[in-house]
Amino acid sequence: MHRWYHLEFGCQFHVEFRDGSLAVILKAFCKVLPELLRDFVQEAPAPRQ
């Protein structure tokens, strides 16, 4: 059985690309990922028991 997960981040990033290649998109994503994860970890609700 498949589980579905929903992640929602309450932040916005504006990124402009001159090149739409996958490598460029992944590089930009890697730059914003630490901040996205930091926000997610700080605001994560307590686990259900």
Q: pLDDT of 24-43, one tens digit each?
A: 888 888 888 888 787 667 66
Percent of the chain with pLDDT over 70: 67
CB-based contact 7:40 (threshold 8 Å): yes
- DSSP code, position 35: H
CB-based contact 35:11 (threshold 8 Å): yes
Return d(Cα 27, Cα 9) in angstroms, integer: 20
The two structure tokens encoding residue 43: 């605001």
